[in-house]
Chain A
Amino acid sequence: MIDALYGAIESGLIYAIMALGVYISFRILDFPDLTVDGSFVTGGAVAAVMIVGGSNPLIATLSGALAGMIAGFLTGILHTKGNINPLLAGILMMIALYSINLRIMGQPNIPMLNEVTVFTTLSSWLTGLDNVLIKPFELLGIAAYAPSTFYVLTSMFIIILIVKKLLDFFLRTEAGITLRATGDNQSMVRSFSTNTNLYIVLGMGLSNMLVALSGAMVVQYNGFADVNLGVGMIIIGLASVIIGEVLFGKDKIVRMTLAVVLGSIAYRIIYSLALQIDFLEASDMKLITALIVISALVVPNWLDKNKAKREFKKSKKLALKRQQGKEVQHASVK
């Protein structure tokens, strides 16, 4: 149980990079981008092939991210230059990427056990970390509840911190502000002499770069790459974004990116809790994901409406009381 929780936090942090990518396309650019299902695997495929081929895992990971960025550019170009509806442009790219991913991998599944990955590299840099971080748990006498290793948690924490900080920084530069405004009011941005098509293409590239980076990390975390790894990825990303917004969201960009990261972790925790239920099987998870997204979309709306109704009733009651009070006063004056 406790191991499952740490596992959930670990994968929550890894998938958070993907969720940040989905946040850029879905929320900032208002572009429902289904490329994600494909580009996630592209990132993983490129990284896996390069790592198995003996490349440096860091270079392999970054190459995977770049491949995803190119896929994002293409989706953006399909939409802006080809005038294809965003949803359709994404689906076309996703389908095309399925074949391309198989070409890259050469086989549907690449095992990567005992390969040098980003995680093993980082853990060799951080030797002795486990011995240090276990101390507080030992002092509190809860060593049994400590995670078996801190390496993945620590390295993912560092990576996600860097990604989040960079993204926060970029979104507040002039170019970042323009990117956000493009999703908010495109014709306004164009009237201030800006090529909005360029910004959409760049934004899609950035979004899918993060998605592919996440895919590359997941492959190394899981120890294998699979061509079907990306199925339903967009919904998982969306679930993270929406849960994050509902539970932790605030207006400011810095808070929003944090909320997305926390949302991703929250999703993984819900997911692993659901898996603890005997009745449910791993194959039910897509259904559960869909249900999580639906409830995250519907429940807040529903709560708001109920709240408004309650307040309306309350104010009516108050008004009635006040009126009665006045009548009483009136009568006593008479």
Chain B
Amino acid sequence: MLQLNNIHKTFYPNTPDERRALQNVSQELNSGDFVTIIGSNGAGKSTLLNMLAGSLLPDEGEVWIDGKNVTALPEEKRAKFIGRVFQNPLTGTAPGMTIEENMMISLGRTNRRSVWKGITKKTREQFREHLSTLEIGLENRLNSKVGLLSGGERQALSLLMATFTEPKILLLDEHTAALDPSKESLIINLTKDLVEKQQLTTVMVTHQMDQALELGNRLWMMDEGEIIFEADDENKQDLTVPDLLKEFENVRGKRMASDRALLAK
């Protein structure tokens, strides 16, 4: 489903600020795989995600999605088959528009946007049905401005909008980092449900090791632009947070730099 071939990316090459964000990343995901990516700040997680989404071009290497080379495909074209949820709940929704209008934007991902048709009764029913799966009562507030929703509600809506048109790939960019713990577990549970129900191929970046272990069937650990450790189905199930930290020390010969990663439960 998703293939990364020898991806390289260097920011500010040949200057004192040169930073190798990705080095020789080659990976493959099968349809229905759910990979969680952990790593400290600046490890290259977000760069990798942006590369998949098409907001960054690699210096070298290729990105293949569903048998097609999409390396040079611009972001908005690639978004046809990529759903994305951002870290900031404000990024994924339009605050000045109603819930149903936001849903309409996401529905337009797959087909051409009509100049003649607005939101019909049928699509409204469809939205209501999808929204009710979130179980936070948004289905009764179709005409509320999204700007009036709380951060957790907005993120739940973003998640739904990114998934209900069944994209080939779902990208989650630390999508719970801006939420308080109770909302965080809500969003994590929703993520689990939605991904499982639609068997979405998912790439999730997170700072929190317990999240990375809890979700998905695969795990990549990144540092300085490289994937330094990976775990698949069987060996991922037995992994614990101390295991991961030890693994990091083994590979890198140093301690994991991020306090946030350590402090996370």
Contacts and interface: CB of A to CB of B under 8 A. Distances in A.
Contact of B91 (A176, A180, A187): A187
Contact of A181 (B76, B91, B94, B117): B94
Contact of A174 (B79, B94, B102, B113): B113
B115 interface: yes
Interface in B83-101: 84, 86, 90-97, 101
Interface string B111-142: 00111111100000000000000000000000
Nearest to B101: A177
Contacts of B183: none
A194 interface: yes
A189 B109 contact: no
Contacts of B53: 191
Contact of B106 (A185, A192, A195): A192
A185 B84 CA distance: 15
Given A177-B104, A188-B93, A188-B94, A193 B76 contact: yes
B42 interface: no
Chain A contact-residue range equals 20 to 34
Interface string A156-188: 000000000000001011111110110011011
B190 to A, nearest CB: 19
B236 interface: no
A178 B97 CA distance: 10
Nearest to B112: A174
Contact of B108 (A172, A187, A194): A194
A155 interface: no
Contacts of B75: 190-191
B252 interface: no
Nearest to B98: A251
Given A173-B116, A185-B95, A190 B79 contact: yes
Contacts, number: 85
B264 interface: no
A35 interface: no
A172 B118 CA distance: 5
A193 B78 CA distance: 7
B166 to A, nearest CB: 14
B55 to A, nearest CB: 9
A101 interface: no
Contacts of B113: 174-175, 178, 194
Contacts of B90: 185
Contacts of B91: 185, 187-188
**From B53, B84, B102, residue with most partner A Cβ within 10 Å:** B102
Contacts of A190: 75-76, 79
Interface of B: 53, 75-80, 84, 86, 90-97, 101-102, 104-106, 108-110, 113-119, 145, 161
23 contacts: A173-B114, A173-B116, A173-B117, A174-B117, A175-B115, A177-B101, A177-B118, A178-B108, A180-B96, A180-B101, A185-B90, A188-B91, A188-B93, A188-B94, A188-B105, A191-B53, A191-B84, A193-B77, A194-B76, A194-B79, A194-B108, A195-B76, A196-B76
The 7 closest A-B pairs by CB, nearest first: A193-B79, A184-B94, A185-B94, A174-B113, A172-B118, A193-B80, A181-B94
